[in-house]
Amino acid sequence: LTNLRKLNLNSTKLSAQTFESLKKRLPALQEFDVRYTEAW
């Protein structure tokens, strides 16, 4: 998963803390959709 570039988590129960953790663990992440989550 470290090469993952796009991540769609809209309309999930994603928290801001979890999102920050994911961004640190996925260095290749370029695009992400977190609309309608607590992270937005």
Give pTM, 2 decimals.
0.81
Backbone dihedral region for residue 36 (phi beyond 0: left; psi -120 to 50: alpha; all else: beta): left
∠ Cα 21 24 25 (to 5°)? 85
Evaluate whether 33 touches 5 at the Cβ level (below 8 Å). Answer: no
Segments of the chain with pLDDT less than 50: none
Model pLDDT for residues 14-23, shown as the tens digit of each residue: 999 999 999 9
